[in-house]
Amino acid sequence: MAVIKVGTSSWADQTLLRSGWYPKAVKTPAERLGYYARQFGLVEVDTSYYAVPAPETTAGWVDATPPGFTFDVKAFSLFTGHPTPVSMLPKDLRPAAGPARIRWRDLPEASYEELWSRFGAALDPLAAADRLGTVLLQFPPWLTRGDGARRRIAELARRCRPWPVAVELRHGSWFDGDAAVETVTFLRDHGLSMVCVDMPQGHPSSVPPIMISTAEPAVVRFHGHSAHWETGSKEDRFRYAYSEGELRRWADLLADLADQAGELHVLFNNCCEGQAQRDAGRLAELLGVGPVPEHARV
């Protein structure tokens, strides 16, 4: 039977900290992560999308969590083609002049290579402690299906090896008609986990929730179904509470997906005022899975 791990995308966003989900006695970042790890066995690192963390930071995450806990780490935004604020780069790698936001092609090759080296160094403490689940390559909604895009995905995945890599595609062209089979085959042939997403439909960035495992671990991310997906603020886009009926239906679907995979990662990204934690907790109950057992803790 597959190992199923349930968690959320972030453990320290500001709306969560204000929501009261953490007990008042839990005050420091390490205490919050430790408390989170007593509730769930998995978390997605969202901060690494905005800036490459220092190895000292990721080593601290290891110290705050028990053996068996898992971090899925989102790749730095610059790597996956998103315009990135220059201020989010390490000071010594920032261009001396130019626009406030840049893409990877705007950096000198040496600076780009150094960024990848530092990203790898940040992952090393997690991997050495067997806490690293997968590296998530979340591509922008304007990455359309094509040979160039496939070459780019394969190149980024190569840079992430030997770690497991998951790919989230966010343009409908990848799954339109016969393209879906081609996309699934491409990801499977390259040993990449296709991220299944539950999200609003009917938008250019919408992709259907295809429940197929293409590599280990299988990954499912829940974005919710906000009516403000295309036009709202980040908070409004992800403001959504899953109903009991939705969670029960997904529990059945996930149990079926788990039969295809050795390990299944389930992450709630409806991060608004602790809703992701509440929904993840209820789904974990329905699936009969929990955090790292007490006997495995240090």
Domain extent, residue 57, equals: 3-296
- The residues pairing with 166 across neighbouring beta strands, listed in sequence order, are 136, 193
pLDDT at 225: 80
| Residues 21, 273: Cα–Cα separation, whole Å | 8
- The residues pairing with 6 across neighbouring beta strands, listed in sequence order, are 266
What residue ranges in the chain does DSSP mark as E strands?
3-9, 42-45, 70-74, 84-85, 101-102, 132-138, 165-168, 193-198, 218-222, 263-268
pLDDT at 298: 36
| Residues 171, 214: Cα–Cα separation, whole Å | 19
| Residues 282, 286: Cα–Cα separation, whole Å | 6
pLDDT at 297: 41
Count up the domains in the chain and report the number.
Answer: 1
Query: Cis (ω within 30 of 0) for the bond into 162?
Result: yes
pLDDT at 213: 96
Q: Which residues contact 104 (CB under 8 A, 6 or more apart)?
A: 78, 79, 81, 112
> How many C-beta neighbours within 10 Å does residue 37 have?
23
Q: Could you tell me the CATH number of the domain that includes residue 276?
A: 3.20.20.410
Q: Kindly tell me the sign of the dihedral angle through the C-alpha atoms of 28, 34, 40, 41.
A: positive
pLDDT at 292: 55
Q: Measuring CA to CA, which residue among 95, 58, 56, 60 is closest to residue 78?
A: 95
- Tens place of pLDDT per residue across the chain (298 aa): 689 999 999 899 888 999 999 999 999 999 999 999 999 999 999 999 999 999 999 999 999 999 999 999 999 999 999 999 999 999 999 998 889 999 999 999 999 999 999 999 999 999 999 999 999 999 999 999 999 999 999 999 999 999 999 999 999 999 999 999 999 999 999 999 999 999 889 888 889 999 999 999 999 999 988 777 777 677 767 778 899 999 999 999 999 999 999 999 999 999 888 899 999 999 999 999 977 554 344 3
